[in-house]
């Protein structure tokens, strides 16, 4: 009887030692002892996707020069991460460091150094970039796609109570570049015309809002293909209040064949255009020599195959 009890006591002691050893090993693996919070890393795991209000499907675009920044509740930067070209997937995740508190994360992509003058981004509402310009002519954005997004507010709890915590957030990346194809038919193919856009939208804050700026010019290479004059332009975010105008001008005498508000007079006259969803536009002008004397006037304007102005009603 004593031998049996001795054996049971010995087995119990061994079991307790194994349990204690296991707990010690697990604590070593986690590296996090609540009384020593320096051993409890915390942060935010960020997923990225793109979805517009006009579509039900989520897409995962290819992003260049991805930049992520964590800001605290006062809008001060806490940490950041830069990535090169990134092909998003449903599993694509970037981890950023932060201690306990309330945070938000901003994401930018496509701000290549050759086209932008950068600012330190020392606060969320501060200036992030200005589009480079020379004599008011903006650097070309041809082939570039700029994206911006911001996460919901995320809370990281006190590690002394909860240990190591990494919260997950998702950021909806929205494109802020816009591509315009401008066409004019009916003009003499021997004419020397230029097509450009003027706007005060060439600078932006870190939070995605447009910053105060001078009026800049987005130029293009306008050329005739047969009897059709065509120009392609890429511009930054479109918003009211930036004095954005589309101009077609005859270089021979600097006379303007057309000047109009790109938003109020052109794009938004098409009821199917939604600036939160659409970033590719075709604006087609029809011109006519009204007096057969070389004086041309615009008779029709189409935006994405929608007639927005005609000579008989508006001009």
Q: Give the whole-angstrom CA distance, residue 110 versus residue 146.
A: 5
**What percent of the chain stands above pLDDT 90?**
75
- Asked, for residue 225, whether it belongs to a domain, the answer is yes
Taking a C-beta distance cutoff of 8 angstroms, is the pair 42, 165 a contact? yes
Total domains, the chain: 2
Q: What is the pTM of this model?
A: 0.85
* pLDDT band with cut points at 50, 70 and 90 for residue 150: very high
Q: Work out the mean pLDDT of the chain and round it to a whole number.
A: 88
Instruction: Identify whether residues 156 and 98 lie together within a single domain.
Output: yes
Query: 39 phi and psi, to 5 degrees?
Result: -90, 5
Q: Of the residues 159, 175, 191, which one is the last residue of a structural domain?
A: 175
Instruction: Identify whether residues 201 and 239 lie together within a single domain.
Output: yes
pLDDT digits (tens, 9 = 90+) for 174-233: 999 999 999 999 999 988 999 999 999 999 999 999 999 999 999 999 999 999 999 999
Instruction: Identify whether residues 166 and 186 lie together within a single domain.
Output: no
Section 239-252 average pLDDT = 96
Instruction: Identify whether residues 196 and 297 lie together within a single domain.
Output: yes
Instruction: Identify whether residues 170 and 44 lie together within a single domain.
Output: yes
Query: Which residues form the domain of 215?
Result: 178-310
- Asked, for residue 54, whether it belongs to a domain, the answer is yes
Asked if the model's pLDDT at residue 82 lies above 50, the reply is yes
* pLDDT band with cut points at 50, 70 and 90 for residue 11: low
* CATH number, domain with residue 212: 2.60.40.2090
**Residue of 152, 168, 165 lying closest to 46 (CA atoms):** 168
Helix H or strand E segment including 48: strand 43-49
Section 14-31 average pLDDT = 44
- Asked, for residue 280, whether it belongs to a domain, the answer is yes
Asked if the model's pLDDT at residue 21 lies above 50, the reply is no
Instruction: Identify whether residues 203 and 215 lie together within a single domain.
Output: yes
* pLDDT band with cut points at 50, 70 and 90 for residue 14: low
Instruction: Identify whether residues 244 and 287 lie together within a single domain.
Output: yes
Contacts (Cβ under 8 Å, ≥6 apart) of 57 = 51
- Asked, for residue 20, whether it belongs to a domain, the answer is no
**Mind spelling out the 3-state secondary structure of 221-273?**
CCEEECCEEEEEEEECCCCCCCCCEEEEEECCCCEEEEEEEHHHHHHHHCCCC
- Asked, for residue 3, whether it belongs to a domain, the answer is no
* pLDDT band with cut points at 50, 70 and 90 for residue 35: low
pLDDT digits (tens, 9 = 90+) for 40-52: 889 999 999 999 9
**Residue of 246, 234, 306, 236 lying closest to 272 (CA atoms):** 306
* CATH number, domain with residue 164: 2.60.40.2100
Q: Give the whole-angstrom CA distance, residue 305 versus residue 282.
A: 8
- Asked, for residue 53, whether it belongs to a domain, the answer is yes
Instruction: Identify whether residues 166 and 44 lie together within a single domain.
Output: yes
* pLDDT band with cut points at 50, 70 and 90 for residue 3: very low
Q: Of the residues 125, 160, 175, which one is the last residue of a structural domain?
A: 175
Q: How many Cα atoms within 13 Å fall on the side-chain side of residue 87? A: 0
Q: Give the whole-angstrom CA distance, residue 246 versus residue 273.
A: 17
- Asked, for residue 131, whether it belongs to a domain, the answer is no
- Asked, for residue 115, whether it belongs to a domain, the answer is no
């Amino acid at each position: 009887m004593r031998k049996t009890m001795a054996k049971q006591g010995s087995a119990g002691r061994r079991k307790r030692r194994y349990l204690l050893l296991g707990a010690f090993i697990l604590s070593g693996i986690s590296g996090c002892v609540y009384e020593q919070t320096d051993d409890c890393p915390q942060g935010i795991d960020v997923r990225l996707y793109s979805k517009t209000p006009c579509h039900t499907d989520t897409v995962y675009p290819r992003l260049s020069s991805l930049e992520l920044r964590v800001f605290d509740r006062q809008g001060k930067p806490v940490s950041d991460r830069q990535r090169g070209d990134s092909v998003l997937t449903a599993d694509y995740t970037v981890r950023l460091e932060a201690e306990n508190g309330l945070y938000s994360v901003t994401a930018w992509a496509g701000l290549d150094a050759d086209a932008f003058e950068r600012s330190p981004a020392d606060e969320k509402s501060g200036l992030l970039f200005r589009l480079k310009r020379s004599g008011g002519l903006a650097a070309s954005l041809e082939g570039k796609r700029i994206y911006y997004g911001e996460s919901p507010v995320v809370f990281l709890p006190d590690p002394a109570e909860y240990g190591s915590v990494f919260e997950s957030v998702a950021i909806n990346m929205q494109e802020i570049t816009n591509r315009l194809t401008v066409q004019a038919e009916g003009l003499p193919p021997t004419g020397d015309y230029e097509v450009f856009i003027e706007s005060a939208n060439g600078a932006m804050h870190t939070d995605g809002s447009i910053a105060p700026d001078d009026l800049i010019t987005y130029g293009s290479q306008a050329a005739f293909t047969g009897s059709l004059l065509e120009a392609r332009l890429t511009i930054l975010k479109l918003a009211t209040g930036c004095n954005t105008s589309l101009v077609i001008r005859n270089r021979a005498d600097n006379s303007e064949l057309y000047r109009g508000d790109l938003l109020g007079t052109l794009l938004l006259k098409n009821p199917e255009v939604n600036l939160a969803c659409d970033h590719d536009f075709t604006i087609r002008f029809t011109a006519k020599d009204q007096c057969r004397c070389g004086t041309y006037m615009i008779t029709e304007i189409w935006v994405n195959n929608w007639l927005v102005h005609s000579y008989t009603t508006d001009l």
